[in-house]
Amino acid sequence: MTFYDWLGTTKLAPSTVEDYFYCIKSKISDWANEHKVTDKNLLQVTDWNEWIDIEKGINSIPIYKSWNESAHNKYSSALKWYKSYLHDLKQANSISGDIKEVYESSRDSTVKARLVDARLGQGKFRDALISLWGSCSVSNYGLSNMLVASHIKPWRVATDLERLDPYNGLLLIPNLDKAFDSGLISFDDKGKILISNALSDPEKLGINTELKVSLHSENKEYLSYHRENVFRRT
């Protein structure tokens, strides 16, 4: 999916979609090229780590900072939306690669099916989370078809047993799932939410310091891993 098509799936107005797309395609790309940040058009950048370096370079360009201030942060907003797009792209590629690895492994076919379901947030793993939590682990929102089965210790570093363990999971509404998976929020051992400084305007996502989760003791080891290895403190 292209950046333009992806923007079209958001709640942004069509005019804003056009605006952000051309900010990335034209102005910001031109500045990045002129200041030797990259020799590519930004729409050609699809690697997450490459983007992180490029973003730092763009943020140091004087004309970018000046125009962004004059345009009430329009250009920095466009960068944030492109970064979100790349995160979704990275996640989709990761899921595809993980599923391929499972199918090509020598595991029993039943185990393969359970692992694939768990990676997709479906099947017995999701059912177990619904039984364990009953509603969103944080907000208590109860309509199950709106909730996402989210691994605490990421799939890529978990063992097969951890991947299927319901205590390595939270049942979350989509905005909390995205923030948790991105390392923008986590929880301490008492269940109190931790909010990364990298998350701007968390209140607009319904995220605030009053949120907490009633943890099971078995969740704590997984959350410790999440805090130390996934959570972005700054």
Q: In terms of domains, do 73 and 111 share one?
A: no
User: Which of 55, 72, 93 is the C-terminal boundary of a domain?
Assistant: 93
Q: What secondary structure letter does DSSP report for 169?
A: E
Residues 111 and 225 in one domain: yes
Q: Are residues 224 and 196 in the same domain?
A: yes
Q: Ramachandran region of residue 42, left (φ > 0), alpha (ψ -120 to 50) or beta?
A: alpha
The first and second tokens of residue 105, run together, are 């492994």
Name the domain count of the chain.
2
Residue 148 domain boundaries? 105-230
Distance CA 207, CA 143 (A): 19
- The 10s digit of each residue's pLDDT in 176-197 is 999 999 899 999 999 999 999 9
Q: Are residues 131 and 84 in the same domain?
A: no
- pLDDT tens across 141-182, in order? 999 889 999 999 998 899 989 998 999 999 999 999 999 998
Whole-number Å distance between alpha carbons of 92 and 98: 10
222 and 113 assigned to the same domain: yes
117 and 52 in one domain?
no
Confidence of residue 113 (pLDDT cuts 50, 70, 90): confident
Instruction: For residue 129, tell me if it sits in a domain.
Output: yes
- Structure pTM? 0.59
Does residue 40 form part of some domain? Answer: yes
Q: Taking residues 194-216, report their average pLDDT.
A: 94
**N- to C-terminal Cα distance for the chain?**
30
Structural domain contains residue 184: yes
For residue 212, the 8-state DSSP code is B
Give the chain's mean pLDDT: 91
93 falls in which pLDDT band (50, 70, 90)? low
